[in-house]
Structure 1
């Protein structure tokens, strides 16, 4: 399959997901700070989910760098990945409005678990495709794979803990994102200093 078509479709779907998330934000009912504070959990869940979507987009971008043409199995796994990602506006809105509700938190956590699992599945398939055509697996893919495996385990544990204390789900996602961003920025800084 033509890489540009798959990437364009994926970028479009991800852009729509981010747009839907921002459209879920409602203007406060008054002009005071208290009205904004009333929606603090909605805003926090939006920032966390937007940042996560951006991170998953960068991982997605790195995965496609290795190919000129996308094997059909990878294109289908990409569609499943986009499907799991497309639930994020719904789960974000729900958890933002009902932070202390176990069903909302659990659904949000399971959504991240599924996104992470499909990203890992996608990475695994791409690695197999690269091995099949005797291409080297990029270092960024290998590093990302290790981090995503750890994330998958942490997401699973957090899904279980959410039954005991509902906000565990969104807190865990925020902590995991912080680690992802820190790792990404420190890795980029290291590469920059090496290339000077």
Structure 2
């Protein structure tokens, strides 16, 4: 399958997802500062989700730059990953409207969890495809900091703890997501900015 077409399709879907989230950000109905202050919970959830998409795209771009071909399996797993990402605007809007309530926060976490499973499945599928042609590149995928952090047992324990804490302090879910994203954005592959040089 043509890798460039799959990349272009993926980039277009991600751009649409990132763009439609801002439509939920309502223009204040007053010129008073209080109007924008009322929208701060959504602005925070929007900023977190937008950052989420940027980090996801960066790591996806890295994986696709070192892969040599797109198998049928990689194509369909990539589509599942895009589907999981397409649910981010819904969870973002719900959390933004009810940031101090547990159910929207847990739904946001559930979407993040589905996305994580899809991302790990996609990474593994690409690595397995590369195993047949270039073991070094397959190892690059498996050694990506994002891949390793999502498989980290301490992260899993932290997320489980955050779920329980969300019944006491609901915003902990989106705050935990933001912290994880910051770590993933700092921990990128060493050659990520040199891949096309």
TM-score scaled by length of structure 2: 0.87
- CA apart distance, 1:66: 1.9
Partner of 1:73: 73
Pick one of 144, 147, 162 that aligns with 1:145: 147
- CA apart distance, 1:155: 3.5
* Distance in structure 2 (CA, Å) of the matches to 1:88 and 1:152: 21
Partner of 1:57: 57
Partner of 1:102: 102
Partner of 1:163: 167
Residues 71 and 121 of structure 1, relative CA distance in 2, 3 Å threshold: same
Gaps of 5+ in 2: none
- CA apart distance, 1:133: 2.0
Partner of 2:82: 82
Matches within 5 A, 1:16-27: 16-27=16-27
Q: Does 1:114 align with 2:118?
A: no
Residues 65 and 141 of structure 1, relative CA distance in 2, 3 Å threshold: farther
Q: What is the number of equivalent residue pairs in this alignment? A: 190
- CA apart distance, 1:148: 2.1
Secondary structure at the residue paired with 2:25?
coil
Q: Tell me if the contact between 1:117 and 1:152 (Cα under 8 Å) persists in the aligned partners.
A: no
Q: Tell me if the contact between 2:123 and 2:141 (Cα under 8 Å) persists in the aligned partners.
A: no
Residues 79 and 173 of structure 1, relative CA distance in 2, 3 Å threshold: same
Q: Tell me if the contact between 1:161 and 1:168 (Cα under 8 Å) persists in the aligned partners.
A: yes
Pick one of 179, 182, 185 that aligns with 1:181: 185
Gaps of 5+ in 1: none
TM-score scaled by length of structure 1: 0.87
* Distance in structure 2 (CA, Å) of the matches to 1:49 and 1:96: 11
